[in-house]
A and B are shown apart, each in its own frame.
Chain A
Amino acid sequence: MNSVQLHEYMSRTHQRRKWVDRWMSGLLFLAALAALVPLFSVLGYVIWNGAGYLNWDFFSKLPKPVGENGGGMANALAGTCTLVATASLIGVPWGVAAGVFLSEYGDGKLGTIVRFATDMLASVPSIVIGLFVYTLVVVPMGGFSAMAGGVALAIIMIPIVARSTEEIVRLVPVHIREAGLALGVSRWKVILRIVLRGCVSGITTGVMLAVARVAGETAPLLLTSLNNQYWNLGITGPIASLPVQIYSYAISPFDEWHGLAWAGALLLVLMVFVVNVLARLVFGTGGSGRD
């Protein structure tokens, strides 16, 4: 191979490598674009089909029986609020405490085990949690109830809140704890009054993301709180919820109900979007709430 041939060979491979580089870059760009197509499609259709139904009736009226037009999801909205409030009452303190345990006392063997268990609990399919709560609460109580739904959602919340709390509390520099301890403040006061005080906004953000996540959960509710066409006050009976109502309207054969389902979906998506944007503004990095 003389020098001219070598030069030709080199420039040919060079050309080819440049082509491959360009094509692969284009392909990667297309992959990113293609991944976002479903997002815009979902957002677009939810707004297109749901916005028209999102009126005052939607927020204030009960569902109408089959064959009658109109009606809304007022009871489902109230039900979702009840369920999320019940879940938060149980899930937030438990999750925050577990998160603080992991960050403050979690460097040993027990910490590793608890951290692993938290990760595993976060990855248990939500329908399995529904089954678990069915046997734990629904069977002993003798029927579907808002209480059971709240417990199921709480179990989903706990690991999310725990891991986000741990991450945030760990960001507090060690010397702040040292300073507190050096002044002779007892450890629990250092944790509660000094360490946690600086993390309130971060922990709140994690809790908000967890709330947004469980507010859209459907599968466990099918097995725990079921559904209800009427108002339900109190937490011992079945209760309507937005996601379950969306599901049962979606699989119904009526156009009117399909429209209401889209409107409910629009509301859920709006809530998730707002919470995520807020989380990002407060916390900088944000997160999806889904692990």
Chain B
Amino acid sequence: MVPEEKLAAVSAVQNVTAHSHREKHFSDRLFFWFLRASGLGVLALLLSIGIFLFRASQPAIEYFGWNFLSSQNWDPVAKDFGALAVVFGTVVSSVLAMLIATPMSIGVALFLNELAPRSVARLAGFLVEMLAAIPSVVYGLWGFFLLAPWMRSTVQPFLGEYFGFDFFPIFLGPPYGVGMLTAGVILSIMVTPTVSSICREVFKAVPRANREAALALGATRWESMKVSVLRASRVGIVGAVILGLGRALGETMAVTMVIGNRTEISSSLFAPAQSMASIIASEYPEAAEKLHLAALAEIGLLLFGVTFVMNAIARLFVWQVKRRVKG
């Protein structure tokens, strides 16, 4: 963007002008403080989310302690709450989503950046972005009425017949349609645009000369992509995947509508399950019991913590790539 020296020169000029006007221009300072307050306000918002959620979940934290994390009971009637089942649901559905979305997104990004003619890349890039802009509830509607029935009638019987092993029972059991697998598939569709657009940025950061060098040594186009683009982008790709994972963990509406909303751990991916986000969406508006509300708030606090850490790590990875390119 702006060269360093120039910025330095400008800020020097600004410092001089600012200094000589400081006494005169009270309005300047007022404006600066206004802007600064709104910037700090964003920080305050972020911090208060953590504080308020912590306070709201205080009763559950005091009552259950660490057992909250290791218990898989979720029984609002008996007032017995544990987060293990929903943490399991969130982790499995998100990992499933990333297993599908990662190769897909890398493929999309490579095709659009390296192979497709410019006009095709522009149009397809726009369409992929549209995929990210469609509201979650619309995906939920589509998943509930089309994807889930299709999974029940076609995909799950097929997987059950050919991959339903007793020693590895993830594809065993009756095909419900709604359940963990369907949630994973719909999440993979929803995170693909995010992951592929970051991958595209990362691939763009690889200098053109690297590709040309590989081609000049006699590499085919695929070999050149593999050697020059993919290998140089490993860190960035990992960052993109973690960012996608962070998004998948917190996705609510589409998951709530297709995951089946049954709070228990099952070895089968066909079985209905529940995620952290979906249990909040489906139970919070109707919960009246104080402990129930607090337990749901604690799940929200956990979700906040986990997505925060994921996103912080991912940003570090992606920043590293960008800084290396700039420097």
Q: Could you list which residues of chain A lie within 8 angstroms of chain B, going by C-beta atoms?
A: 17-18, 20-21, 24-25, 27-32, 34-36, 38-39, 41-42, 45-46, 49, 94, 97-98, 100-102, 104-107, 110-111, 113-114, 116-121, 123-132, 134-136, 155, 158-159, 162, 170, 174, 177-178, 181-182, 186-188, 191-192, 212-213, 215-219, 222-223, 226, 243, 246-247, 250-251, 258, 261-262, 265, 268-269, 272-273, 276, 280, 286-291
Contact = CB atoms under 8 A, between A and B. Distances in A.
B194 A291 contact: yes
Nearest to B21: A186
Contacts of B99: none
B132 interface: yes
* A-side interface mostly: helix
Most buried by A among B18, B112, B135, B144: B135
Interface of B: 1-2, 6-7, 10-11, 13-14, 17-18, 21, 25, 27-28, 30-32, 34-36, 38-43, 45-46, 48-49, 52-53, 55-56, 103-108, 110-112, 115-116, 124, 126-142, 144-146, 189, 192-194, 196, 220-223, 243, 246-247, 249-253, 256-257, 277, 280-281, 284-285, 296-297, 300, 303-304, 307-308, 311-312, 315
Given A29-B115, A102-B39, A36 B135 contact: no
Contacts of B140: 247, 250
A42 B138 contact: yes
Given A27-B107, A219-B252, A276-B126, 13 more contacts: A20-B222, A28-B110, A28-B115, A31-B106, A32-B112, A38-B189, A42-B138, A46-B142, A158-B45, A174-B6, A178-B13, A223-B281, A265-B138
A-B interface, 4 closest residue pairs, ranked by CB to CB distance from nearest: A125-B250, A31-B107, A216-B135, A188-B31
A244 B169 CA distance: 37
A28 B107 contact: yes
A289 B144 CA distance: 25
A290 B136 CA distance: 11
A177 to B, nearest CB: 7
A136 B112 CA distance: 44
A90 B307 CA distance: 25
Nearest to A21: B220
A169 B141 CA distance: 38
Contacts of B138: 42, 46, 216, 246, 265, 268-269
